[in-house]
């Protein structure tokens, strides 16, 4: 469930990282390299990808979150925070809601990246049911899937169903009626050229916390997690170290 994780007794906080649609835990390897040593990075591997490729994808964000809450329970013996990029932001948010509902531990901080707030509707028609050609075009527009994947028929056959399943999770999601604002601070991070997640949609995350809310913008499109990994790592460290990450 947590590949690439190395225990660090000197760390003050564990950071659980949830990947974007179609992505896996390896997406955080580069970002991990820029983290300060007091943050113990724990990349979360959802079912259906990388070393869990043989497992079936789950069918709802809440289902993924409940499974994660159970699997990560042994890791809650240290102060922890949650980071998620794109779909991963929803997964991280739902994890904290699942823990709240079951009396589990509270996080120090929730850091959401490149995703609208849970109650904000899609800014475009759903795409997960598009025919293959149109769906592939949509994936290309987001600029997050390597060209070699989209140009290789075998890799397409492997990856596009996974990405489609994740798009379904995202595009059919709505927060449960019993969800309450979280007791931890939320930091929202967005890309300056991200056409799918504009600043107003990021700012709406403030509705889901009873603690502090801050926002930062990073130069880049929806996948600044790859192009600006050092800046992202610095913002995360700042948020976890001081609680301040202001525009």
Q: So which residues are the catalytic ones?
A: 86
Residues 6+ apart with CB under 8 A from 31: 17, 41, 225, 229, 232, 233, 236
CA atoms within 13 A on the CB side of 188: 26
CA distances, 14 to each of 11, 26, 65, 87 (Å): 7, 17, 17, 20
Alpha-carbon span 55 to 109, nearest angstrom: 30
Distance, C-alpha 243 to centroid of its chain: 19
Alpha-carbon span 130 to 149, nearest angstrom: 19
The CA radius of gyration of the chain, in Å to the nearest whole number, is 17
Alpha-carbon dihedral sign for residues 74, 76, 81, 82? positive
The phi and psi torsions of 52 (rounded to 5 degrees) equal -120, 30
């Amino acid at each position: 469930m947590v590949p690439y994780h190395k225990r660090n007794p000197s760390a003050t906080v564990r950071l659980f990282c949830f990947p974007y649609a179609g992505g896996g835990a390896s997406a955080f390897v580069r970002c991990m390299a820029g983290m300060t040593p007091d943050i113990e990075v724990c990349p979360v591997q959802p079912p259906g990808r990388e070393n869990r490729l043989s497992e079936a994808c789950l069918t709802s964000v809440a289902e993924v979150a409940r499974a994660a809450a159970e699997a990560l329970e042994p890791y809650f013996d240290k102060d922890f925070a949650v980071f998620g990029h794109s779909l991963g932001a929803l997964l991280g948010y739902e994890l904290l809601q699942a823990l709240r509902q079951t009396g589990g531990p509270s996080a120090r901080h929730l850091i959401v990246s490149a995703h609208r707030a849970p109650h904000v509707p899609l800014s475009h028609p759903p795409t997960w049911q598009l025919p293959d050609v149109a769906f592939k075009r949509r994936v290309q527009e987001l600029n997050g899937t390597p060209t070699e994947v989209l140009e290789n028929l075998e890799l397409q056959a492997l990856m596009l169903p996974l990405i489609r399943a994740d798009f379904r999770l995202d595009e059919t999601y709505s927060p449960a009626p019993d969800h309450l604002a979280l007791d931890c601070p939320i930091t929202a991070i967005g890309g300056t050229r991200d056409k799918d997640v504009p600043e107003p949609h990021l700012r709406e995350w403030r509705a889901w916390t009873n603690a502090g809310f801050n926002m930062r913008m990073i130069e880049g499109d929806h996948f600044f997690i790859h192009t600006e990994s050092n800046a992202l790592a610095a913002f995360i460290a700042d948020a976890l170290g001081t609680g301040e990450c202001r525009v």
